[in-house]
Amino acid sequence: MLRNYLLIALRNLRKHKTFSFINIIGVAVGLACFLLIALYVQDELGYDRYNANADRVYRVTRTFLSSEGTASLKLAQAAPPFGPLIKQDFPEAEQVVRTLDLSNGLLRVGEHSFNEPDIYMAEANLFKVLSFDIVSGNPDQALVNPFSIMFSRPMAEKYFGSENPIGKTVRMNNQFDMTITGVFEPLPTQAHFHPGFLVSFSTLNDNRIYGAEGLRTNWSNNSFNTYVLLRPGADPKRMEAAFPAFQNKYVPTEEGRQASSFSVLNLQKLTDIHLRSHTDSEVEPTGDITYIYLFSAIGLFILLIACINYMNLATARSAGRAKEVGMRKVVGALRNQLIGQFLSESILLVVFALGIAVFLVMLSVPALNDFTNKQLSFRQLLDPVFLSVVVGITLITGLVAGSYPAFFLTSFRPLGVLKGQIASTVRSGKLRQVLVITQFAIAIALIISTAVVYNQMKYIQDYRLGYAKDQMLILRDVGDSTTNYETLKQQLVQTGAVRDMGRSSRIPSGRLLDSYGAMAMKGDTMAPVKINLRGLQVDYDFIPAYQIGMAAGRNFSRSYSTDTAMVVLNETAVRQLGWTPDQAIGKPFQYGPAKGQIIGVTKDFHFESLHQQMAALAMILQPGQLNWVSVPLKGNTSEAVQRVESVWKQFFPQQPFDYKFLDERFARLYAREQTQQTLFSIFAGIAILISCLGLFGLSMFMAEARTKEIGIRKVLGASEASLVALFSKDFMKLVVVALVIASPIAWYAMHSWLNDFAYRTDIHWWVFALAGGLTVLIALLTVSFQSVKAALTNPIKSLKSE
């Protein structure tokens, strides 16, 4: 029986080559998109699951609350004392380990030196909590002693080639000699952090670096990643419930407030970090579970469009197969046998399409890897779980695509079929119209989404940030002293390639995560302010280097020795304090170590991403060494960089000249949205392509079905143009209905997406007009090909067609 079904199915596929080709290509492209998205989703969902104890490892996060009790700062890190105290006070904690991201460090071996961005300090029990593959060295002892360092295998090969690095010495930051105690394999791509080097945490006990006292008592430096391995069966919610009392016990009060009133500790699952963490500070960029849902839905929608194509074309051809069904029923075929026949045809077609889809996936995976910076492999399709999903999807696709044609065709009564009484029913095809509308509604919604994302990206690119970001060269850790730095600056300016040079604790495009206690005059006394005021340490030249305008007052000046006690605010801070810029000048103000008065108010400038609201900002003067140096260039960029490098090598002959441009950092802030824009464009194009393939097939069928009608109309004097219009208008009506349905759905979805931006464009009416016009034009061109062909046919041939 099954063999008979397959033989008949193959014959039907060969007999109707055009319809078979349209269906197979449509389903193949739909399946290929689905499989590529499935590979991406599987990779995203697999983050940190390689850890042996992934289900029991949690990260301690800390949220700071405003005086009104709302979250003002959400951090993925915590202060250093929390780790040991959690281990001490909570028996549920089997292990607690702390790591510290050093962000950047200069390592030198012999004459070779490199700035390394992935250096982490880690406690000795790290390998009992997180899974590492240790190549050499004793994992229990490698991070015990101070000034010990472990290299990842690629870094060991970079510095030592094929030599065994164990026991060798490396110079760090031109200050300390570190002994290499181990080598580990790089963590998988699906890890939330990727250390190139691990330095023993006990090194921090040295007072030149941090000091043991600071590790025990510094509650304000929330830079330490703290991981907790719970004992089997331990309840993390019970621990979280005890955290308020735990904080009140150890953390000092602030302005009379207990710690639990301004600080909240939470436990975050290790496997939730990549997709469900929405903190203000992460070790590495994370994903978003919302996008996983979104792209999964798009994959299913594209597959649905391909299934709809099959349904439409199969039911449209039903008149041609009606007599076959009638004859089979007359000779005794049961309905379930006929249903099995039609479903087998559908599944066979989908199996052919799957073969083509797999080939398309093989071709597309390298491009997808380049686009997403992942290491997806076609071999993932051979994973038993993934393979079972693919087989299941293939069967479901075949059943869904073939179900309606099977039940529709087998419902015909033999007598009516043999008398030719079903043609009008087939031609009207109400459900088929609904399916076409569904196809184009999905495609139109994707086009609208693409246009909105493009407009938002254009809005961001054109938005005035309030500072000069073009040709801004960024350097780190320049000079060992203020004197050395000033000399370097003078020589750089003298080259004519540098306009100015400023230093700061952070640079625009980063996050403002620092905050100090602020006090302003209230009546006759100084009182704490009730606004969330972020802090930035700068030198005399930071504001002019970025060409930030002043709304009132002045910048810090070397002419005033007291400026180290003064404060410069931005307009948002002044406004939240209830003053105008002019009123703020001269008012007594304290912020962290600065205890003087407000000497200037800058115009607002967007230090952070446009995802965030403008922060109230206080700048204080720190003319000594700061982490970041901003160098605005002049003239030809490449020549200016060469001049800067030449001077650099004179001052730091053993230090690599590593630099970045601010506009590149700024672009990375919106990399996810740029990726989304490109993917929307691709998916919208594919959706339109598959829909038009189906429309082409339908128009071909309708032209054949109405051949005699067209001949009669031409004999009676109808023009080719009127016939094309008559033939096309029914399809155009469906596209217009699809536009009406898709527009409010797309508007709601994109309105929600835009809410992630504090500064956003409007959704303009022309976006919907553009999507509708573009879809109508493409559909019209698709249908017109068959319409014109039918209209130009000799009416004599048309009238002889039956």
Report pLDDT digits (tens) over 774-800: 888 888 877 776 666 665 665 555 555
Average pLDDT over residues 393-415: 70
Q: What is the pLDDT of residues 44-101, one digit of tens each?
A: 999 999 999 999 999 999 999 887 778 888 999 999 999 999 999 999 999 999 999 9
Q: How far apart are CA 235 and CA 728, in angstroms?
A: 65
> Would you call 227 helix, strand, or coil by DSSP?
strand
Q: What is the pLDDT of residues 693-727, one digit of tens each?
A: 777 777 766 666 666 666 676 666 666 677 667 77
- What the block records as the tokens of 474 is 């960024």
State whether the Cα torsion 307-310-316-319 is positive or negative: negative
> Would you call 554 helix, strand, or coil by DSSP?
coil
Average pLDDT, the chain: 85
Average pLDDT over residues 380-394: 77
User: 24 pLDDT exceeds 70?
Assistant: yes
Q: 203 pLDDT band (50/70/90 cuts)?
A: very high
Task: Check: CB of residue 166 under 8 Å from CB of residue 153.
Answer: no
497: Cβ contacts below 8 Å, ≥ 6 apart: 633, 634, 635, 639, 640, 643, 644
> Would you call 223 helix, strand, or coil by DSSP?
coil
Q: How far apart are CA 407 and CA 554, in angstroms?
A: 81
> Would you call 710 helix, strand, or coil by DSSP?
helix
CA neighbor of 568 nearest in space, from 600, 605, 541, 603: 600
Q: How far apart are CA 505 and CA 513, in angstroms?
A: 11
Average pLDDT over residues 430-453: 85
> Would you call 542 helix, strand, or coil by DSSP?
helix
User: 480 pLDDT exceeds 60?
Assistant: no
Q: Which helix (H) or strand (E) holds 170?
A: strand 169-172
Q: How far apart are CA 451 and CA 428, in angstroms?
A: 35
Q: Which of 53-57, 419-423, 646-650 has the lowest mean pLDDT?
A: 419-423
pLDDT of residue 620: 95
Q: 684 pLDDT band (50/70/90 cuts)?
A: confident
Q: What is the pLDDT of residues 324-362, one digit of tens each?
A: 666 666 666 666 776 777 777 778 788 888 889 889 988
Name the phi and psi angles at 522, rounded to 5: -130, 105
Average pLDDT over residues 656-667: 89
Average pLDDT over residues 681-695: 82
Q: How far apart are CA 490 and CA 486, in angstroms?
A: 6
- What the block records as the tokens of 493 is 């300016």
38 versus 423: the higher-pLDDT residue is: 38
Q: What is the pLDDT of residues 308-320, one digit of tens each?
A: 877 777 666 655 5
Q: What is the pLDDT of residues 544-594, one digit of tens each?
A: 999 999 999 999 999 998 999 999 999 999 999 999 999 999 999 999 889
Name the phi and psi angles at 504, rounded to 5: -160, 160
Q: How far apart are CA 322 and CA 335, in angstroms?
A: 14
- What the block records as the tokens of 621 is 């003067």
- What the block records as the tokens of 430 is 């109400």
> Burial of 427 by CB count in 10 Å (0-12 exposed, 13-18 middle, 19+ buried)?
middle
Q: How far apart are CA 178 and CA 169, in angstroms?
A: 6
pTM of the model: 0.84
User: 247 pLDDT exceeds 70?
Assistant: yes
Helices (H), 373-422: 384-409, 414-418
In 640-685, where do the E strands start and end? 660-661
In 258-313, where do the E strands start and end? 263-269
> Burial of 367 by CB count in 10 Å (0-12 exposed, 13-18 middle, 19+ buried)?
exposed
Pairing of strands 567-570, 518-522: unpaired
**What region, left, alpha or beta, does residue 136 occupy, with left being phi > 0 and alpha being psi -120 to 50 degrees?**
beta
pLDDT of residue 316: 63
646 versus 393: the higher-pLDDT residue is: 646
- What the block records as the tokens of 557 is 């000046």
- Encoded amino acid at 51, one letter: N
Out of 229-233, 607-611, 669-673, 689-693, give the one with best mean pLDDT: 229-233
Q: Give the torsion through C-alpha atoms of 745, 750, 753, 756, to 10 deg.
A: -130
Q: What is the pLDDT of residues 625-635, one digit of tens each?
A: 688 999 999 98
pLDDT of residue 584: 94
Pairing of strands 169-172, 105-109: antiparallel
User: 164 pLDDT exceeds 80?
Assistant: yes
